[in-house]
Chain A
């Protein structure tokens, strides 16, 4: 009997691995197909190679740009701006949410303003930022932060409010101050919501930074896109897009890793 169970379990595990392998295989072949189709379509002029370039040309450009070091500079500029904007937006949004939780009066007063700010397209504030902070990386980081700060405030504040009253009852029965209640209960209980806003913010801060670079910069991937567009070098545009796709994915994976570490115990 035991032997039979073991066998069945082995079979079950094998099935799972097999399924996973099929998923991965399909994913890889889709990607491969995309690039092959793109290359062939460009070579056979199904699509205009001047507009859509081709993988081989993007690859060649990547190699030369790596050799002269320029892609590394542009990438590191954009990446540091994005990471800074992302961290700043998330941190300030969370702190703001903390203040709203602390003072119900403040939260009532600010409610309509937050609603307006949230529905406002933040990139439209770009010109104002540049006028205020100067045409440099400060404005670009501010753009990356601004785009995520309001939504972070709203989502995290809601999470703070929805912490089970009974957890608070427990900590208050030990005579906890409001500060203690916040840091030992409200904040850790809201990790799951904070993490899920992080995931959204990864995408948002890329939007903010790229748009910011469109508007002012002399460096960065956003600048490469605008420049490539202006001189009709779409190979350069495609290269910048691919680099952004890879980096944004890596950043997202990073947040997921953080999620696993922080909230693996959160499900009761």
Chain B
């Protein structure tokens, strides 16, 4: 059975003098442990789709099922990571990474230790007592990753988490996030505008078409690329061929628009 299932999901936003159909008729399912990327031209409703899956926004019509249950509100099963770290500047890193546990009423000595261990695994052990503004962009995004993982969600929603970083940091963090997610056997959905990033991180890539967003095509990434960590995958001979393929599809969409 699918872990996450979207059935004919549509979302329309209303305002006083207009209505905006963000996404139309989206159906797909994700297996447990799968890594899915969603790409598409800007404004195609990628982030809306992620907000819907997170339960922060409810669909106008259609259903989203997580583990067989319909999503009505944010659940502890899902974790959300944003474009920028959005660490709370008035809290220390330790307080930041445990705020999810605290909010859920789950902050015990055991869970706190687990969060700190995670922080250590991501190389931030020495920074627990520091404040976000004392850390570099890459370190902050790693702390945000720990914050998301600390509550033990099964489904991770990543909303362009690398887009605000410099290229080198971005490549390193891709590897780190990839291996952390694989190690913890999490299911993940990544929204990105970077074709390369989508190709090297995921098992399947969903390409959305422009307003209203609907599924244009789904690419299944071959085993040989899936098995590699992102940095190695970027250097694989098959990478370029796939890149061209997705690129052409995206171009044809833009021409239509």
- Tell whether A and B belong to one assembly: yes
Task: Determine if B103 and A180 form an interchain contact, defined as CB atoms under 8 angstroms apart.
Answer: yes
Residues of chain B contacted by A171 (CB below 8 angstroms): 99, 103
Task: Determine if A173 and B131 form an interchain contact, defined as CB atoms under 8 angstroms apart.
Answer: no
Tell me if B79 counts as interface (CB < 8 A to partner A): yes
CB distance from B189 to the nearest CB of A (A): 13
CB distance from B92 to the nearest CB of A (A): 9
Task: Determine if B89 and A173 form an interchain contact, defined as CB atoms under 8 angstroms apart.
Answer: no
Interface string of A84-128 (1 = CB under 8 A from B): 000000000000000000000000000000000000000000000
A176 to B102, CA, bound (A): 10
A211 to B76, CA, bound (A): 56
Task: Determine if A172 and B89 form an interchain contact, defined as CB atoms under 8 angstroms apart.
Answer: no
Task: Determine if B82 and A175 form an interchain contact, defined as CB atoms under 8 angstroms apart.
Answer: no
Task: Determine if A175 and B74 form an interchain contact, defined as CB atoms under 8 angstroms apart.
Answer: yes
Most A C-beta atoms less than 10 A away, residue of B99, B102, B104: B99
Assess A174 versus B82: contact at CB under 8 Å? Given A265-B90, A266-B89, A267-B89: no
Tell me if A28 counts as interface (CB < 8 A to partner B): no
Tell me if B100 counts as interface (CB < 8 A to partner A): yes
Residue of A164, A166, A172, A188 near B90 (CB, 8 A) is A188
Tell me if B54 counts as interface (CB < 8 A to partner A): yes
Tell me if B88 counts as interface (CB < 8 A to partner A): yes
Task: Determine if B99 and A166 form an interchain contact, defined as CB atoms under 8 angstroms apart.
Answer: no
Tell me if A184 counts as interface (CB < 8 A to partner B): yes
Measured CB to CB, the nearest residue on chain B to A267 is B133
A interface, size bucket? 20 to 34
Residues of chain B contacted by A172 (CB below 8 angstroms): 56, 74
Tell me if B80 counts as interface (CB < 8 A to partner A): yes
Task: Determine if B88 and A167 form an interchain contact, defined as CB atoms under 8 angstroms apart.
Answer: yes
Residues of chain A contacted by B79 (CB below 8 angstroms): 173
Task: Determine if A265 and B131 form an interchain contact, defined as CB atoms under 8 angstroms apart.
Answer: yes
Measured CB to CB, the nearest residue on chain A to B89 is A268
Tell me if B230 counts as interface (CB < 8 A to partner A): no
Task: Determine if B56 and A184 form an interchain contact, defined as CB atoms under 8 angstroms apart.
Answer: no
Task: Determine if A266 and B56 form an interchain contact, defined as CB atoms under 8 angstroms apart.
Answer: no
Tell me if B73 counts as interface (CB < 8 A to partner A): yes
Tell me if A170 counts as interface (CB < 8 A to partner B): yes
CB distance from A169 to the nearest CB of B (A): 6
Task: Determine if B99 and A169 form an interchain contact, defined as CB atoms under 8 angstroms apart.
Answer: no
Tell me if A38 counts as interface (CB < 8 A to partner B): no
A232-254 residues with Cβ-Cβ distance < 8 A to B are: none
Task: Determine if B103 and A169 form an interchain contact, defined as CB atoms under 8 angstroms apart.
Answer: no
CB distance from B203 to the nearest CB of A (A): 24
CB distance from A172 to the nearest CB of B (A): 6
Task: Determine if A265 and B103 form an interchain contact, defined as CB atoms under 8 angstroms apart.
Answer: no
Show the binding face of B for A, using Cβ within 8 Å. Answer: 54, 56, 73-76, 78-80, 82, 84, 86, 88-90, 99-100, 102-104, 131-133, 147, 151
Show the binding face of A for B, using Cβ within 8 Å. Answer: 164, 166-167, 169-176, 180, 184-185, 188-189, 191, 263, 265-268
A–B pairs, 16, beta carbons within 8 Å: A167-B86, A169-B56, A169-B80, A170-B80, A171-B99, A173-B74, A173-B78, A173-B79, A174-B100, A175-B76, A175-B104, A176-B103, A188-B90, A265-B89, A265-B90, A267-B89
Question: Shortest 4 CB-CB distances between A and B: which pairs?
Answer: A173-B80, A174-B100, A174-B103, A268-B89
